[in-house]
Structure 1
Amino acid sequence: MLIRIRASAVTRADTMMRKGEPLFARPFLGLRRPRAGLSGTGLSGEVIAVGESVRRFAPGDAVFGESGMQFGANGSHICVDEGGVLMAKPDTLSHEQAAVLCDGVLTSWHYLHELGKVKSGERVLILGGAGSLGSAAVQIAAAMDARVSATCSARNADLVTSLGASRVIDYTAEEALQPGAGYDVIFDTIGVATFAAAKPALTDGGRYLCPVLTLKRLPAILMSGRAGTKRALFAAVGLEKPERLRGTLTEILALIDQGRLAPVIDRTFPLAELVAAHAHVEAGHKRGNVVVV
Structure 2
Amino acid sequence: MKAIVQERFGPPDTLRLADTDRPTAGAGQVLVRVHAAALNPYDWHMLRGDPYVARLMGGVGLTRPKRRVAGIDAAGRVEAVGADVHGLEPGDEVLGFCPGSFAEYALTTADLLVPKPVGLTFEQAAAVPMGAVTALRGIRTVGRTQAGQRVLVNGAAGGVGTFAVQIAAALGAEVTGVCSARNADLVAALGAAHVVDYAQEDFTDGRVRYDVILDNVGNRPLSRLRRALAPSGTLVANGGGSPGHVFGAVGSMLRLVAADAFARQRLRPILPSAPAGPSHEDLLAVIALIEAGTLTPVVDRTYSLADTAEGVRHVERGHARGKAVITVL
Q: CA shift at 1:283, angstroms?
A: 2.0
* Match 2:74 to one of 32, 40, 43: 43
Structure 1 counterpart of 2:80, one-letter code: A
Corresponding residue to 1:77 among 105, 111, 127:
105
Mapped partners of 2:68, 2:103: distance in 1: 10
Q: Of the candidates 141, 149, 173, which is equivalent to residue 176 of structure 2?
A: 149
Q: Determine if the alignment matches structure 1 residue 10 to structure 2 residue 34.
A: no
Segment drifting more, 141-150 vs 244-253: 244-253
**Cα offsets for 1:170-190 (capped at 9, x unmatched):** 111111111242111111112
1:213-241 deviation line (CA, Å, top 9, x unaligned): 62442343222333331122013463687
Matching of residue 105 in structure 1 with residue 139 in structure 2: no
2:232 to 178, 193, 205: 205
1:217 equivalent to 2:220? Answer no
The TM-score, its normalising length taken from structure 1, stands at 0.92
Shift of 1:103: 1.5
Provide the rounded CA distance (Å) in 1 between the counterparts of 2:215 and 2:192.
15
Q: Percent identity?
A: 35
Secondary structure of residue in 2 paired with 1:34: coil
Contact 1:139-1:163 at 8 Å conserved across structures: yes
After superposition, give the CA deviation of every residue in 1:261-286 in whole Å (9 maximum; x if it has no partner).
10100001111111111111112211
Quick one: distance in 1 between partners of 2:293 and 2:222? 34
Q: Deviations over 1:132-151 (max 9, x none)?
A: 01111111111111111111
CA deviations on 1:94-149 (whole Å, 9 max, x unpaired) are 11111121111110001111101011111111111100011111111111111111
CA deviations 1:3-50 (Å, max 9, x no partner) are 110001111111112111222211320223321111110001111122
What is the alpha-carbon root mean square deviation over aligned residues?
1.8
SS in structure 2 at match of 1:118: coil
> CA separation in 1, counterparts of 2:127 and 2:49?
22
2:279 paired with 1:245: yes
> Does residue 276 in structure 1 map to residue 304 in structure 2?
no
Q: Structure 1 residues 3, 125: closer, same or farther in 2, change over 3 A? A: same
Q: For residue 306 of structure 2, what is the amino acid of its counterpart? A: A
User: Does the 8 Å contact 2:32/2:107 carry over to 1?
Assistant: yes
Distance across 2 between alignment mates of 1:240 and 1:281: 20
Determine the structure 2 residue equivalent to 1:25.
Answer: 54
Q: 1:240 to 1:53 in 2, by over 3 A?
A: closer
Aligned-partner Cα distance in 1 for 2:267–2:220: 12
Tell me which of 148, 152, 173 is aligned to 1:125: 152
2: CA distance, partners of 1:189 / 1:21: 18
Gaps of 5+ in 1: none
1:197 Cα deviation from its structure 2 partner: 1.8
Query: Aligned AA for 1:3?
Result: V
Q: Mean Cα displacement is larger for which, 201-210 or 173-182?
A: 173-182
8 Å CA contact retained: 1:195, 1:232: no
The whole-number CA distance in structure 1 between the counterparts of 2:262 and 2:62 is 37
The answer to whether the Cα contact below 8 Å between 2:75 and 2:123 also exists between their aligned partners in 1 is yes
Name the SS of the counterpart of 2:94 in structure 1. Answer: strand
Q: Does 1:194 align with 2:221?
A: yes
Asked whether 1:58 is paired with 2:89, we answer yes
SS at match of 1:186: strand
Q: Structure 1 residue 258 and structure 2 residue 292: aligned? A: yes
CA 259–223 in structure 1, closer or farther in 2 if over 3 Å, else same: same
Q: Are 2:96 and 2:283, in contact at CA under 8 Å, matched by a contact in 1?
A: no
State whether residues 180 and 200 of structure 1, in contact with CA within 8 Å, keep that contact through their aligned partners in structure 2: no
Q: How many pairs were matched up?
A: 288
Query: AA paired with 1:176?
Result: F
Task: Give every structure 1 segment of 4 or more consecutive aligned residues whose post-TM-superposition deviation is greater than 6 Å.
Answer: 239-242
Which of these residues, 226, 248, 265, is aligned with residue 230 of structure 1?
265
Q: Which whole-Å deviations, capped at 9, do the CAs of 1:181-212 have from their partners, x for residues lacking one? A: 21111111122223222011111111111121
Distance across 2 between alignment mates of 1:238 and 1:216: 18
Report the 3-state secondary structure (helix = DSSP H, G, I; strand = E; otherwise coil) of the residue aligned with 1:291: strand
